[in-house]
Amino acid sequence: MRRIFITLLLIFTLSLLSASLSYGQVQVRLRVFEASNVGTGIDSSLKDMRDQFKPLVDFSSYRLLKEETPTLNLNQSVSSPAHPGRKIELTLIRQHKNFADVRVKIKREEMDVLNTQVRLSPGRTVSIGGPKHGQGVIIITLSAQF
């Protein structure tokens, strides 16, 4: 009986430790795409977002430029080049059971062009309109899994 109790206690302790190590980590899906009125159509890799484009903006063409799924750790920044001369910096500020607060910065030559904070919930996508790009604009979408 004592051996079973010790085994169960050990399993419980390890599961708590495992949960606490994964808490403070969020996997984010980052998409950077160009929206414009040059041409028509939606990049095949963006088909799952077709319904989200209609209320977003009135563009006729959407082209994926970049897609990544970085894992964010609490208070540690992850940077990714967005398009020439610009980079996106993501920082997990806070994580709760139902949401994660993420700081989003767009930098041009180390100067902040955008500095905002978004709240990501599982299954939801946040869109951020960005700078001009060619004959259109850059749009960034973020979604999270945790």
Q: Is residue 44 part of a domain?
A: yes
Q: Is residue 9 part of a domain?
A: no
Beta strand 41-42 with 61-68 is parallel
Which band of pLDDT confidence, cut at 50, 70 and 90, is reported for residue 43? confident
Q: Is residue 128 part of a domain?
A: yes
More reliable by pLDDT, 17 or 121: 121
Q: Who contacts 102 (Cβ-Cβ below 8 Å, separation ≥6)?
A: 26, 28, 72, 90, 91, 92, 93, 117, 118, 119, 120, 142, 144
More reliable by pLDDT, 64 or 55: 64
Q: Is residue 70 part of a domain?
A: yes
Average pLDDT on 91-105 reads 95
Q: What is the mean pLDDT of the chain?
A: 81
pLDDT at 44: 77
Number of domains in the chain: 1
Q: Is residue 5 part of a domain?
A: no
Q: Is residue 50 part of a domain?
A: yes
Which band of pLDDT confidence, cut at 50, 70 and 90, is reported for residue 91? very high
- DSSP code, position 106: E
Q: Is residue 6 part of a domain?
A: no
Q: Is residue 47 part of a domain?
A: yes
CB 81 within 8 A of CB 65: no
- Structural domain harbouring 128: 26-145
